Amino acid sequence: MNKKTIKDVEIGGKRVFIRVDFNVPIKGGEILDDTRILGALPTIRYAVEKGAKVILASHLGRPLKDKKKAEEKGQPYDASKYSLQPVYDHLLKTGGFKIAFAEDCIGEAASDKAAELNDGEVLLLENLRLHAGEEKNDPEFAKQLASLADVYVNDAFGTAHRAHASTEGITHYIDHCVAGLLMEKELNFLGKALNAPDRPFVAILGGAKVSDKIPVIESLIKRNVDKLLIGGAMAYTFFKAQGFTIGRSLVEDDMMSKALEIEQMAKDAGVELLLPTDHQVVDSFDPLNSRKTIPIDFTNAGLVGLDIGVETAAIFEKALEGAKTIVWNGPMGMFEEKPFDEGTVAIAKAVAAATDAGATSIVGGGDSVSAVNQAGVQDRISHISTGGGATLEFLAGDELPGVAALDDR
């Protein structure tokens, strides 16, 4: 990685603004999954140990967008559900450092609390996206954020693909802008996989739409991934393009020609492209009682494919044997509805087994990460990426604004 990190600058006694990703699921004031909070702790604790005055900033949800929708529909809008207060309460109990909370991220509410910080203390600012200036990357809003700090640290890889005020704009007004420890880890793992992977290199892509993954697929093929495994609903676009009957399965008709191009591109590059051979289906007229597993070419007009079958899971598992680098993004089926999580969980276990055998594995995307956790193999994965769209854009070879804005070594 060619970017400076928090370890490359002097932070003792200085005000250090750390952009974290605390966009976590909250229900009834309770945090349902603190994975992202845990991921940020090493950087926060490092800054605390070095005697910095630490200022944390994050977004949570899309409050202004949801407020507009509620107003248009004449529905009540509850702004409190977008407060980072529950995150503060969580850090108060589990962080292991002294922390305060500011009821805004700019203005006196923020500046007064920041001025009260002693060395080694932490302040959490209120949700950045309560201000329109954040997503608009408004210079004045960015200046107000920058006024709180001497050093800027971006540790929120999941938002690095957005040129927002707290990820890109702020860097124009602070002299030292560096990566946090989590950001460094993300860039090192993903960068090696993209630019210098140990081989064989196997990529597994799933999810609903081919269109969402086209840049990643093309990038991986151009960089000569050895095997490309495609599952999830996106596989049906390939099947329909090949002339298979796919019933009422999800398909992107306007992407069929692109699917054929991708297949030819893989063939020309010597990339082994594997699609499912069987799938779990239901009859669209009796979805609750008609689940069965059939070969792809047995699909008739009334069926809907919702998960890969056991044969496909076994083929994909076999394809992972001997792999040295594995990247996985996207579920193999309608993971959120049991029992159609079975294929995705099977892949999670197969990736873990390949990691045990010596592969470096990188898993990204919400459903893929959930599958790894559900299968109980999260500790057997080399790196679980905190990025969704950021991971995809990085693997597609795109420059991420939040990374490009940081100081080079």
How confident is residue 78, by pLDDT bands cut at 50, 70 and 90? confident
Of 183, 216, 247, the last residue of a domain is: 183
Q: Please name the residue that has the structure tokens 């005000």.
A: 15
Residues 134-183 have pLDDT tens digits of: 999 999 999 999 999 999 999 999 999 999 999 999 999 999 999 999 99
Average pLDDT of the segment spanning 192-202: 95
* Domain shared by 139 and 213, yes or no: no
Residues 290-323 have pLDDT tens digits of: 999 999 999 999 999 999 999 999 999 999 999 9
Parent domain of 356: 190-395
366 is an active site residue: yes
Is residue 401 situated within a structural domain? no
Read out DSSP for 235-287? Answer: HHHHHHHHT---TT----GGGHHHHHHHHHHHHHHT-EEE--SEEEEEETTST
19 is an active site residue: no
Q: What is the rounded distance in angstroms from the CA atom of residue 360 to the CA atom of residue 409?
A: 26
Task: Give the model's pLDDT for residue 1.
Answer: 76
Specify whether the CB–CB gap between 369 and 33 falls below 8 A. Answer: no
* Domain shared by 296 and 255, yes or no: yes
**Of 209, 324, 349, 380, catalytic:** 209
Of 183, 210, 244, the last residue of a domain is: 183
Is residue 400 situated within a structural domain? no
* Domain shared by 235 and 332, yes or no: yes
* Domain shared by 314 and 232, yes or no: yes
**Of 13, 51, 389, 397, catalytic:** 389
Is residue 404 situated within a structural domain? no
62 is an active site residue: no
Residue 189: closest CA among 352, 18, 364 = 364
* Domain shared by 170 and 253, yes or no: no
**Of 107, 191, 366, 376, catalytic:** 366
36 is an active site residue: yes
Domain count, the chain: 2
Task: Give the model's pLDDT for residue 234.
Answer: 96
Q: What is the rounded distance in angstroms from the CA atom of residue 383 to the CA atom of residue 184?
A: 12
CA distances from 332 to 24, 114, 222, 307, 407 (A): 24, 46, 24, 6, 39
Average pLDDT of the segment spanning 375-396: 91
Is residue 346 situated within a structural domain? yes
pLDDT-above-70 percentage for the chain:
100
pTM: 0.90
**Of 3, 14, 19, 36, catalytic:** 36
Query: For the domain that residue 162 is a member of, what is the CATH number?
Result: 3.40.50.1260
Average pLDDT of the segment spanning 6-14: 98
